[in-house]
Amino acid sequence: MSTITWIPGSNPALDKLFDDLREQQYQDHSHRLWKNYSKNEFKYLNPIALSIYFDDNGEPSTCSSIAARDCWPAGIYRIHNRTWKPNERLKMLNSMSPIAWEQAKWLKENTDCQLYFISRSTKYWETWMCNELKKNYNMDFTTDNFFYLTCPNAHDSSCWQKIIYHGDERLLTQWQRKQK
């Protein structure tokens, strides 16, 4: 089992594998967020890094990306972004791969990261994910009572999401947010 994280364009073979797996996910229209995996949506996301977790047989088990956006304060990154399991056709993740842990480690080694977060547009996921990350990877995440602007369009309700985060929480006061 291993996770590889790389900058898009720095490894053509991994870029192609990731894009092929992304396209498979996009073609699965049974997933409620299938449109998020289109080539254009992924390009719009402008990921700073891509990750693939390989199982014991060397098969891709989980795919994810790391993002940074201009609408977030400098030094804040989203991990576990656009995460899916290519071989499982589940509506929601029911277990955590080490991708979040590996992405946090990659950010510390390769960026000016001061805070990283995970966000979802669904409800009631924060406690489960915080517990799973703590139990399986000894990662401490916190949440609060705000919704944060996760994409540039403040008028789009899907751009306001709950987050779990780790890092310098003083940065959160510089981020557009609103109470529940």
Could you list the residue range(s) of the whole structural domain that residue 56 is in? 2-179
| Residue 83 or 124, more confident | 83
Whether 45 shows a pLDDT value over 90: the answer reads no
Pairing of strands 177-179, 146-149: antiparallel
Number of C-beta neighbours around residue 43 at 10 A: 10
Q: How far apart are CA 117 and CA 147, in angstroms?
A: 13
Q: How far apart are CA 122 and CA 108, in angstroms?
A: 28
For the four alpha carbons of 36, 51, 105 and 95, in that order, the dihedral sign comes to positive
Q: So what's the pLDDT on residue 18?
A: 97
Residue 148 sits in a domain whose CATH number is 3.40.630.30
Q: How far apart are CA 121 and CA 158, in angstroms?
A: 7
**In degrees rounded to 5, what are phi and psi of residue 120?**
-140, 155
Confidence band (pLDDT; 50, 70, 90) for 30?
confident
**In degrees rounded to 5, what are phi and psi of residue 137?**
-135, 5
Residue 80, both tokens: 């576990």
Whether 90 shows a pLDDT value over 60: the answer reads no
Domain count, the chain: 1
Whether 109 shows a pLDDT value over 60: the answer reads yes
Mean pLDDT across the stretch 164-168?
A: 97
**In degrees rounded to 5, what are phi and psi of residue 158?**
-70, -15
Q: So what's the pLDDT on residue 94?
A: 59
Its pTM surpasses 0.75: yes
Mean pLDDT across the stretch 21-41?
A: 88
Q: What is the pLDDT of residues 54-75, one digit of tens each?
A: 999 999 999 999 999 999 999 9
Whether 148 shows a pLDDT value over 60: the answer reads yes
Q: So what's the pLDDT on residue 147?
A: 95
Cβ–Cβ < 8 Å for 116, 79: yes
Amino acid at 61: S
